[in-house]
Structure 1
Amino acid sequence: MKTSISGLLLLSLTLSLGAAETPPIASSTPLLAPDGNANFRTWTNTTGKKVEASFRGIESGNIFLQTRDGYVYRLALDTLIPEDQKLAQSLKPEGLGIPKDPGLAQAAAIIDKGVLMGLTKAGQKPNPLASDEQFIRRVYLDLAGRIPTREEALAFINDTSSSKRASVIDTLINDDGFTSRMYNYMSDMLRVTDDAQKSKFFTYQEWLKQQIADNRPWNLVVREMMTADGKLLENGATGYLLRDRGMRLDNLSLTLSTFLGANVACAQCHDHPFADWTQRQFYEMAAFFGASDTYNNRKGGGALGMNLRNLREELGQQAFAQARRLMYANQLKIADGEKNDTTLPDDYKYVKDGKPGDAVAPKLISWTKEDHRLRCYQNVESALKKADDDSHLREVFADWMTSPDNPRFAMTISNRLWKLAFGVGIKEPVTDLDDPNASSNPALIHHLANEMVRLKFDLRAFMRLLCNTQTYQREAVTAELAMGQPFYFPGPILRRMTAEQAWDSCVTLAIGDKVDHFKMKRADTYAQVMNLGSAELSMEVLKEKLDAMQNMRQSSMFGDAPKGKGAKKKGKRAAMMREASATNNEEEDYSKPQMMGGLVLARASELRQPEREDHFLRMFGQSDRQIADSNSEEGSVPQVLMLMNGEAQEVLSSRQAMAVSAAEKQESAQGQVESLYLSFFSRKPTAEELKSIYEDINNGLKPGDLAWVLFNSREFVFVQ
């Protein structure tokens, strides 16, 4: 009979040390822990029974011990011999401390063991565990996408509970900040933009945010993107395929690399020179989308297109242009026909496989000969045989790709999330998983894929698991990674904040925990104004729609980014107008963002996607969303200039900024300095730093000046 990990561990918590089936151990202590924990040793109870385990903490008269297999035992402290009781009371729990979920603790310990095996094989050792100050800043940046506030950092540092790390992970993983963090990551991966195909993609954006907020399983989210039909204005999930409207082959290439790590891009034009994929295989995969129409070629432009042809003079140039935008928005839709129209290209040259123009039937790629024995492959073969027409092909493809037993789907997203937490993937690049055995730790990457399936593609649960490992909670690796050399994860790598992390941290310094209050809601209004439904378009209806579009454009939420000469000046003027309209009353209005110094102080996820070129976000590496996964964390001179003299610097060094305001309320100079250090770095200054700053304070340094210094330090922009 099979028992779940969680069930086994819950059972183990009720066991006494005397009941544990562990033989007496004569080795000395401390011992080598399977996860590198220095508190791993032999523990003895009053009856002489012994067990090897890591010390996890003491709580309410009980001691918590974790054995090699990851089991966590809760024992009455007085059941141990006096020497071990005294030892336990002198020890400080390492890393996670007392876990909240025994099943999670075992799963995390297995990952740690896998990492340690890789390190040992490479002749390396794990880094020491990160301090509380390092951990709290890192986990906020990785899970909430921002640094903690001064109050949040102090609350954690001053917490004496042995389970405080597990508690803060649980809090952050269920918070709004996680939705924002994951949306920023997925927006880069999926190339989410406000503007594409001459229309707004607001419904796609808000659909994606809602999937993350609802914690919908990843396989179901991706499946819906693959199978969605209808108008973009009515079904946000259609946005993924419509982002590449009319470019079936390009979209397929991105789909395979993004969700399966299949390196097939070259096979779009010719047989892949460095992999096994052929051009015919690529077209056979494309045939699964061969009956799907994203360009309305089969039905034409409809009545709307015909009505507009002779209206230029009557409407005027500007109104006519808006009428065309109305048309484009309503033509963005997906529909499936009954026949797959995929054919080999006119320049196809592999005559042994076919001739140019030959019809291509759908067929799946595979990585090994054994793949076709998997249920997901067999289901596809059965579905293709039974179907009367080709209208179902997208669903067949989606069911195969997102299946739990697909050899690459779970592995790809787990490798991506591992990189999100540790700064580098087990297999790099994350878009090429054709050979998992070429990764730095093949056993680990296969195990993580199994864990993703076990967790039913729950991304919050998976990130929670990674953050509960000792590996995640170790000090960062500061040495530069050698090009092309495998990385074995003695700890996460030291990395620069993403553009979104840096911006959201700036907003946090300015307005504190109000950072998640404002939510940009544009989809419903935009869809209501733009959607023509199925009714016949008359001149009266058209003019009503154009008036509604004009009113919508005048709203700051829908206004396009200024372009051309004087764009920056116009953008600042528009921002000041928004500031004037924003509420400044004591009663908060969550429908409007807070403003300061001409900047909209809202999460990156609630701003323009992507932001204007001269905005902080773009200067710090936010991608233009034209290429997947193209955010940059490279430094540049413009970034330095923006930190020193930009709008964000002016806001953060002003007395209105919450970090500066909180510092000014401290009575002593030391209190002011400590307050700012906690706000920016989640730590107090060292004695040497205090001494140096005291001299500057005596020479007239103000809290706002010190905020400028800390903001421009290397420590601020790095995730330790």
Structure 2
Amino acid sequence: MKTATWLMTGALALGVGFQTARLQAAAALPEARRIDEILARHWEKEKLAPQPLAPDEVFLRRVYLDVIGRVPTLEEARAFLTSADPTKRAKLIDQLLASPGYASHTFNYLADVLRLLSDAKDSKTGQAYADWLKTALAENRPYDQMVRELLTTEGGAWDSGAIGFYMRDRGMPLDHLAATVQVFLGTRIECAQCHNHPFDKWTQMDYYKMAGFTYGMDTRAYGLTANKSVKKGQRKKMAGEDRELLQEVRQNMQEVMKPLRYTSIHSTERLPHLPDDYKYDDAKPKEEVAPATMFGHEVVPGPGESRLAAFSRWMTSPENPRFTTVIANRMWRRLMGVGLIEPVDEITDSTVPMVPELMTYLERLMVEKKYNLKSYLRVLLNSEVYQRMPSPKGLEPGETYAFTGPLLRRMTAEQLWDSLATLISGDVDARSILPDERNAAQLDALGRLSDAISEKTPEQLVASVKALQGTEEGAKQQRLDALSAEMKEAQKAGDKERARKLASELAGLRRGSRDIAFVAVLGEEGAEQYEEAMAEARQGAPKKGDGKKGAALNREEMRKMLAEGMTKQEIRAKLQEMRDTARVNGSAVRASELSSPAPRGHFLRTFGQSDRETIENGNTECSVPQALKLLNGPVAPVLMASNSHYQAALEAAPDRRSQEETVYLSLLSRRPTVEERQILDNVFEAHPKTALEDITHAVLNTAEFLFIR
């Protein structure tokens, strides 16, 4: 039994043991001082007093979690808390913003906003999209540039993973437009897709005019279906025999081209048409709608500029009345716990920020920083308001806030996972986040296949097939066609036994041969290289921590779970969590490097990771399953395992006092108070053999560990 009595004392409740401190005389940024001056005037007007400045222990843990998404290591905590440098806070902020952890943590946030799915039907494109976003953040690409790339990139996922933005809503261009406006302009217009907006000024015509800019992005064409030359070749006057052969090639290539599905998008001149039941006087049903912006200046494409490029230029312009407001407010909300405008994505003409002067200044600051998110965050992090103690009370829905300090927040699922990974494996930021090499290899091979297809004219395809028909490959193809025809006849006649035998023979022959159309497109050598590359990419390198022992444990667990009556979905989630835990033990894998999102039932999903079905859908609400995960799950035992960085630190501590300090600095980024040491001494005396594990387990289950002060 864990030390329940000690837990009930509430000795580790929020606020206990902290002493007041003053902010060191850091070289404050002028922009940060401006934020504090604006808020000081607001507090004076509202007759409010700010929260006291946070002590080093509170600031240290908060800034690590806010900037790189994890608690500081034991070594990092000791180094900061023992430093007498008066500028150490400003220096730590710069250090964290330059850390690989910044990209990892910011990826988790933006992946939720963008509803990014790395493991959907289009998993290759989804993973490429995730890699693109990580790379953009690691390079500190300006936010407006990132948005322009998302809006205008076309081609294959092997060219740029940014095509995942459109592929996320493939086949649903109208829904995609609503999501685009909500994410980047903070405006909800989805109601206007079916009728004039009942609570805002947007009309159904406004909606379709906006959709006109992005409607032409084709997410379904791929391979030969995207080869305009081949499509035209079927319509023009080719010789009848050649035309039939070209059609046969297209049909035979369908199986070969399956891996190319959902991997490319192409811009077209297609425009939306009003629905059949359009009921307003400004147009007729089914009428084609030309693109036009819903507010701001008119979009006029420049010489040689596409309408999509012009649209992206309008969207990200500093003159756009909402683009800058939304991203400035989102970043403020990430650090302070609540936005100056709430909700962040339901802005209307009547919206008034909680502190209007500050919102105006932050908009100007974002433009001055040229949408460099790191530079913008650096200012916010150096402000006194960010470095104050949190407000002692939460906000009710619709309640305004004077920003006397940040709000108290619970860690996100990803912050909790990454913090546990840090405790288990040490510095999880020692290695930069890298693109998925296996996925990149597959995409490279698919890119070569796509290029080969796009370069072929109808005449070249027909000529290549004719040349192959007299070869061994051609003979095999004829035999395949004959067997396929026989099997269909047997099935039609109801001869199941003969159909089964023919199917088996057909499968065996296919394994030993290549489709003649495939060879016609890539050539013999190219076809062989493609198959080798795809096979190698599928096999991939074994993941660290996924050895035979882990596989055996999975099989044992599966038998146990089946006996307990768990569903297949629950079993899959549990096994994925076991694999991810093994990877954490072996290679310090952050949440950003796992499937995004994790499967339902996984630790991350239990603690509120977004399912990515709707925009910014993650939550930090507490639940009974979360409590059970921490109380009865494997977290504490894994921390106390022999290969754990945390356990190694405990073993290296020379005495009991040092061990107690190690527990507190590792988990809470502070040292225990005098009162807490007395309680810890009692635990050691009552349970000397299990005291450290009991204390660890208890601290992990406190509010202080789970919350960001």
Asked if the contact 1:498/1:633 (under 8 Å) is kept, the reply is yes
Asked if the contact 2:574/2:602 (under 8 Å) is kept, the reply is no
Equivalent position of 2:621 in the other structure: 634
Q: Which amino acid aligns with 1:328?
A: R
Matching of residue 169 in structure 1 with residue 93 in structure 2: yes
CA distance in 2, matches of 1:653, 1:624: 31
Work out which of the residue numbers 599, 612, 615 in structure 2 matches 1:612.
599
Which residues of 2 match residues 108-507 of structure 1 at below 5 A?
Answer: 108-200=32-124, 201-296=126-221, 300=225, 309=251, 325-329=258-262, 332-337=263-268, 339-350=269-280, 352-366=281-295, 371=296, 377=297, 380-381=299-300, 383=301, 392-435=306-349, 437-507=351-421
- 5+ residue gaps, structure 1, are 1-91, 313-319, 372-376, 580-592
SS in 1 for 2:585: strand
| Cα 1:222–1:695 shift into 2, 3 Å | same
CA distance in 1, matches of 2:209, 2:707: 45
Equivalent position of 1:97 in the other structure: 25
By how many angstroms is 1:503 displaced?
0.5
After TM superposition, the structure 1 stretch with the greater mean CA deviation from structure 2, 248-257 or 113-122, is 113-122
Write the deviation string for residues 229-249 of structure 1: whole angstroms up to 9, x where unpaired. 111232212111121112111
By how many angstroms is 1:571 displaced?
4.0
CA distance in 2, matches of 1:122, 1:575: 50
Asked if the contact 1:423/1:492 (under 8 Å) is kept, the reply is yes
| Cα 1:105–1:569 shift into 2, 3 Å | closer
Structure having the larger proportion of residues in strand: 1
SS in 1 for 2:702: coil
By how many angstroms is 1:196 displaced?
3.4
Work out which of the residue numbers 699, 705, 708 in structure 2 matches 1:710.
699
Asked if the contact 1:342/1:359 (under 8 Å) is kept, the reply is yes
Q: Which amino acid aligns with 1:510?
A: I
Q: Which amino acid aligns with 1:401?
A: M
Q: Which amino acid aligns with 1:286?
A: A
Write the deviation string for residues 11-42 of structure 1: whole angstroms up to 9, x where unpaired. xxxxxxxxxxxxxxxxxxxxxxxxxxxxxxxx
By how many angstroms is 1:106 displaced?
1.4
SS in 1 for 2:705: coil
Write the deviation string for residues 380-423 of structure 1: whole angstroms up to 9, x where unpaired. 24x3xx679xx811111100010122111111001000010011
Q: After TM superposition, where is structure 1 displaced by more than 6 Å over at least 4 residues in a row?
A: 303-306, 540-544
By how many angstroms is 1:696 displaced?
0.6
Write the deviation string for residues 241-274 of structure 1: whole angstroms up to 9, x where unpaired. 1211121111111111111111212112111111
Asked if the contact 1:198/1:325 (under 8 Å) is kept, the reply is no
CA distance in 1, matches of 2:577, 2:65: 29
SS in 2 for 1:438: coil
Equivalent position of 2:469 in the other structure: none
Work out which of the residue numbers 541, 549, 552 in structure 1 matches 2:537.
552
Q: Which amino acid aligns with 2:99?
A: D
Equivalent position of 1:18 in the other structure: none
Write the deviation string for residues 680-719 of structure 1: whole angstroms up to 9, x where unpaired. 0010011111101101101124323322111111111100
SS in 2 for 1:335: strand
SS in 2 for 1:513: coil
CA distance in 2, matches of 1:446, 1:280: 31
Q: Which amino acid aligns with 2:284?
A: K
Q: Larger RCO: Structure 1 or Structure 2 (Cα < 8 Å, ≥ 6 residues apart)? A: 2
Equivalent position of 2:462 in the other structure: none
SS in 2 for 1:300: helix
Structure having the larger proportion of residues in helix: 2
- 5+ residue gaps, structure 2, are 1-19, 231-245, 454-516, 547-553, 559-567
| Cα 1:574–1:113 shift into 2, 3 Å | closer
TM-score (norm 2): 0.76
CA distance in 2, matches of 1:414, 1:619: 30
Write the deviation string for residues 409-461 of structure 1: whole angstroms up to 9, x where unpaired. 11100100001001111111111222474221122111111100001001001
TM-score (norm 1): 0.75
| Cα 1:564–1:261 shift into 2, 3 Å | closer
| Cα 1:355–1:297 shift into 2, 3 Å | farther
Asked if the contact 1:660/1:676 (under 8 Å) is kept, the reply is no
| Cα 1:442–1:435 shift into 2, 3 Å | farther
By how many angstroms is 1:95 displaced?
2.2
Q: Which amino acid aligns with 1:535?
A: A
CA distance in 2, matches of 1:231, 1:96: 52
SS in 1 for 2:265: strand
CA distance in 2, matches of 1:557, 1:668: 38
Asked if the contact 2:153/2:163 (under 8 Å) is kept, the reply is yes
SS in 2 for 1:538: helix
CA distance in 2, matches of 1:159, 1:438: 43
Matching of residue 602 in structure 1 with residue 589 in structure 2: yes
Identical aligned pairs, as a percentage? 37
Q: Which amino acid aligns with 1:364?
A: T
CA distance in 1, matches of 2:657, 2:341: 47
Asked if the contact 2:573/2:599 (under 8 Å) is kept, the reply is no
SS in 2 for 1:534: helix
Equivalent position of 2:441 in the other structure: 525
By how many angstroms is 1:299 displaced?
7.6
Write the deviation string for residues 361-381 of structure 1: whole angstroms up to 9, x where unpaired. 111112xxxx4xxxxx25x24
Matching of residue 538 in structure 1 with residue 467 in structure 2: no
Q: Which amino acid aligns with 2:446?
A: M
| Cα 1:651–1:420 shift into 2, 3 Å | same
